[in-house]
Structure 1
Amino acid sequence: MHETVLTRILKIRYPIIKAPMAGGIDTPDLVAAVSNAGGLGSLGGGYLTPDQLREAIQEIKKRTQRPFGVNLFVPEEQSESEEMINQMTDYLNFYREELGIPLSPLIKKSAESFEEQVQVLLDEKVPVFSFTFGIPSPDVIQAFKQNGTVVIGTATTVEEAKQLEVSGVDAIVAQGSEAGGHRGTFLKSAAQSLVGIMALVPQMVDHVSIPIIAAGGIMDGRGLVASLSLGASAVQMGTAFLAGPESGAHTVYKQKVLKENEDATEVTFAYSGKAARGIQTEFMNDMHLYTGEIPAYPIQNVLTRDIRQAAAKANNPEYMSLWAGQGLRLATDDTAAKIVEQTMEQARAAVKKISMVEVIADSSTLR
């Protein structure tokens, strides 16, 4: 059961991929632990400077000899008006006053250089390169493939998956609407691309010929078996690893993940200007009242960064971005290795249970 076309391509034992989670959640210990347990650990590197990215990759290499992946954000051209940015900055000053931090901070840059990040990954010869928010240029994809790197894209609709296949990627993450964190949508609006994983995976499998990775609300072996049954070649799990000891998530973030339930999340633009699913907070609720236009990513992400960082220092989760999927009630604080092991045990048990049901059904038919 655990061997699929993708486990062979990735050279991993189990069809379990740890979702890349940027912003300090992913640590070298967490990435390596999943890889060492037989899955594929992934580093969310979108917010890291080239030097930080290189250091993180080298630290992962010290901890594992097995394959791992690095995820980057494909840059998007944004030209928000100065008036829009100033209006949002003024609005956010209320939170800065509450947190006791400087008002209207000077923004030096909105995002790290994608080209420089890519060069680090090529230099370090990372085994797997995944990306989100669009499709890199053909030159970038070709450079990785010539480097012997497996390339994985992210899609939220079948049409996005088709474009990714044409671009030459080796596999596609089918990101269901249940998934935590930023939406990988790049063709239509986020609202038009909120397709549940049960509907998305089989349709994607039927329309592209490369392996599909199911992502969104998958927390255990039952989700793994269901995804494989739908035609996926692996699953990607993020929230399942959020509260564990290797995770770099803030303590109050972990507590919220373990406390909240499946109805506690929503998709919001409030923190970054891009649709992302997270646990509901006061900040998200307040931003519903904002009458202006929220600047698009990455501008809004930079405008709220100081607020999120100050809230973390103050142990105040209500102003932090608490990305999480809809499988919250199934979250644990187990180690990454135990989560991988238990997922496979649960999957075997689920398959056995299904087999027993089939035997009983056959016996009833014969009688």
Structure 2
Amino acid sequence: MWNKNRITKLLEIEYPILQGPFGGGISTVELTTTVSNLGGLGGFGAYTLSPQEIYNTHKEIQSKTNKPYNLNLWVNDHDIIDEEHTKEQYRQAVETFKPYFDLLQTDIPALPPSFQSRFQNQLDVVFDIKPKVFSFMFGLLNESIIEDLHRQGTIVLGNATTLDEASALEKTGVDAIVASGFESGGHRPSFLDKAELSTTGTFALIQLIRDRVKIPVIAAGGIANGRGIAGAFKLGAEAVQIGTAFLATEESGALPVHKEFLFSDSAKSTTLTRAYTGRLGRGITTKITRDLLAATDKTLPFPLQTHFMGALRKAALEQQKNDLVFFWSGQIAPLLKHKKASTLMQSLIEEASELLS
């Protein structure tokens, strides 16, 4: 049976289908619990939440499901070097993005306040709430932390974009590796090398990691239907993590216009850019992303660039100038069909079962 393997046993789920944990307010309790209640593993991206918000979200999820879910955090949650360097980056960002602020007749924001890492405080809450599954991105956790998580009964997943990252994660004691391929929407969670140099495709990455690593591999990127699941399993994956297809459902927290773009012809083209957050991420190609392909060294560090671009995004959405907005999306978006998470899950299960029986 394709849905009876090390992952389903480890995570105590019926089907080895994980919903990608979205950050930036796009994860919702409704989406997370819908996927978990249907036998998969719902995911909730919590890197922007305060410790109290994480606690409250966990309690709300527990009130709507007794099934496991995946709580996700970012180990490295900022790229700030120092104040002087940030000021120079701000000067370059203003020079680069001023034409777009002028076009929308909106003021350029002042230099955003500095950012203090909140990961440690967030991690403390993980030990308080004891989720069944905890995943992390953009780095490694100390082996002792993973041991402590295991002692409290939490399964730990690490995200890798290269074989070297997967090997490093295995050495720290994680239970499984999410192999994030080049096709994935959202941020590239690379941590050993520049994200621009860590762009292996999902199906190649599965094979590379499976050949070297003993723990289970979860394929992420370019998968939105049963055919994608079957292909990933044939190459050695024991589960899949699906992002863009769930992002497009009614239950996600994405804006309605974002979901419209995911089902439109615009989704045929996606771009990797640092322009919107300061970290490399994949979204639908719009005018602004085409214009700024070469502006990777003229942005503020993450997450200050996110705040800097917030005013531009808000004005563009209000004025319905959507070509000046960046919408997260993976390369698989043109194959999307389902607008409800329950319908999507049913389709994934039925098609994968037929192909892998």
Q: TM-score, normalised by structure 2?
A: 0.92
> In the alignment, does 2:94 pair up with 1:92?
no
Q: What letter matches 2:239 in structure 1?
A: A
> In the alignment, does 2:246 pair up with 1:236?
no
Asked whether the equivalents of residues 156 and 184 of structure 1 are also in contact (C-alpha less than 8 Å), the reply is: yes
Instruction: Name the CA shift for 1:139/1:315 in 2 (closer, same or farther; >3 Å).
Output: farther
Counterpart for residue 123 of structure 2: 118
> In the alignment, does 2:40 pair up with 1:39?
yes
Alpha-carbon separation, structure 2, partners of 1:99 and 1:112: 32
Query: Deviation at 1:314?
Result: 4.3
Alpha-carbon separation, structure 1, partners of 2:329 and 2:202: 16
Deviation string 1:33-82 (CA, Å, 9 cap, x unpaired) is 00011100000111222232222222211111100011111125531512
Q: What letter matches 1:38 in structure 2?
A: G
Query: Deviation at 1:130?
Result: 0.7
Number of equivalenced pairs: 352
Counterpart for residue 68 of structure 1: 69
Alpha-carbon separation, structure 1, partners of 2:112 and 2:135: 28
Deviation string 1:183-225 (CA, Å, 9 cap, x unpaired) is 1111122232111112110110110111100011100111111
Q: TM-score, normalised by structure 1?
A: 0.89
Counterpart for residue 139 of structure 2: 134
Residue aligned with 1:270, SS: coil
Instruction: Name the CA shift for 1:102/1:268 in 2 (closer, same or farther; >3 Å).
Output: same
Counterpart for residue 208 of structure 1: 213
Instruction: Name the CA shift for 1:292/1:109 in 2 (closer, same or farther; >3 Å).
Output: closer
Question: Which one is further off, 16-25 or 138-147?
Answer: 138-147
Query: Deviation at 1:3?
Result: 1.2
Residue aligned with 2:32, SS: helix
Deviation string 1:125-178 (CA, Å, 9 cap, x unpaired) is 111111111112334323322221111000011111000000111110001111
Alpha-carbon separation, structure 1, partners of 2:190 and 2:120: 21
2:351 to 337, 340, 346: 346
CA RMSD, Structure 1 to Structure 2 (Å): 2.1
Instruction: Name the CA shift for 1:313/1:11 in 2 (closer, same or farther; >3 Å).
Output: farther
Q: What letter matches 2:192 in structure 1?
A: L
Alpha-carbon separation, structure 2, partners of 1:291 and 1:178: 19
Instruction: Name the CA shift for 1:178/1:285 in 2 (closer, same or farther; >3 Å).
Output: same
2:306 to 301, 305, 318: 301
Deviation string 1:67-124 (CA, Å, 9 cap, x unpaired) is 0011111125531512122321354344344445443235234365111111222211
Deviation string 1:311-336 (CA, Å, 9 cap, x unpaired) is 34444433333111111111134321
Instruction: Name the CA shift for 1:106/1:192 in 2 (closer, same or farther; >3 Å).
Output: closer
Q: What letter matches 2:88 in structure 1?
A: E
Asked whether the equivalents of residues 267 and 333 of structure 2 are also in contact (C-alpha less than 8 Å), the reply is: yes
Question: Which one is further off, 3-12 or 330-339?
Answer: 330-339
Question: Which one is further off, 123-132 or 302-311?
Answer: 302-311
> In the alignment, does 2:259 pair up with 1:254?
yes
> In the alignment, does 2:20 pair up with 1:19?
yes
Counterpart for residue 172 of structure 2: 167
- Give ranges in structure 2 of 5+ residues lacking alignment: none
Alpha-carbon separation, structure 2, partners of 1:212 and 1:52: 30
Alpha-carbon separation, structure 1, partners of 2:141 and 2:270: 30
Instruction: Name the CA shift for 1:313/1:71 in 2 (closer, same or farther; >3 Å).
Output: farther
Question: Which one is further off, 264-273 or 330-339?
Answer: 330-339
Instruction: Name the CA shift for 1:151/1:252 in 2 (closer, same or farther; >3 Å).
Output: same
Counterpart for residue 78 of structure 1: 80
Alpha-carbon separation, structure 2, partners of 1:333 and 1:97: 38
> In the alignment, does 2:59 pair up with 1:58?
yes
Alpha-carbon separation, structure 2, partners of 1:291 and 1:266: 13
Query: Deviation at 1:229?
Result: 1.1
Instruction: Name the CA shift for 1:103/1:168 in 2 (closer, same or farther; >3 Å).
Output: same
Structure of larger gyration radius: 1
Asked whether the equivalents of residues 16 and 238 of structure 2 are also in contact (C-alpha less than 8 Å), the reply is: yes
Asked whether the equivalents of residues 222 and 346 of structure 1 are also in contact (C-alpha less than 8 Å), the reply is: yes
> In the alignment, does 2:334 pair up with 1:329?
yes
Instruction: Name the CA shift for 1:306/1:116 in 2 (closer, same or farther; >3 Å).
Output: farther
Alpha-carbon separation, structure 1, partners of 2:272 and 2:104: 25
Instruction: Name the CA shift for 1:292/1:348 in 2 (closer, same or farther; >3 Å).
Output: closer
Asked whether the equivalents of residues 243 and 332 of structure 1 are also in contact (C-alpha less than 8 Å), the reply is: no
Alpha-carbon separation, structure 1, partners of 2:251 and 2:213: 36
Asked whether the equivalents of residues 217 and 327 of structure 1 are also in contact (C-alpha less than 8 Å), the reply is: yes
Alpha-carbon separation, structure 2, partners of 1:257 and 1:97: 28
Residue aligned with 1:304, SS: helix
> In the alignment, does 2:268 pair up with 1:267?
no
Instruction: Name the CA shift for 1:312/1:29 in 2 (closer, same or farther; >3 Å).
Output: farther
Q: What letter matches 1:322 in structure 2?
A: F
Alpha-carbon separation, structure 1, partners of 2:15 and 2:146: 26
Asked whether the equivalents of residues 37 and 337 of structure 1 are also in contact (C-alpha less than 8 Å), the reply is: yes
Instruction: Name the CA shift for 1:17/1:172 in 2 (closer, same or farther; >3 Å).
Output: same
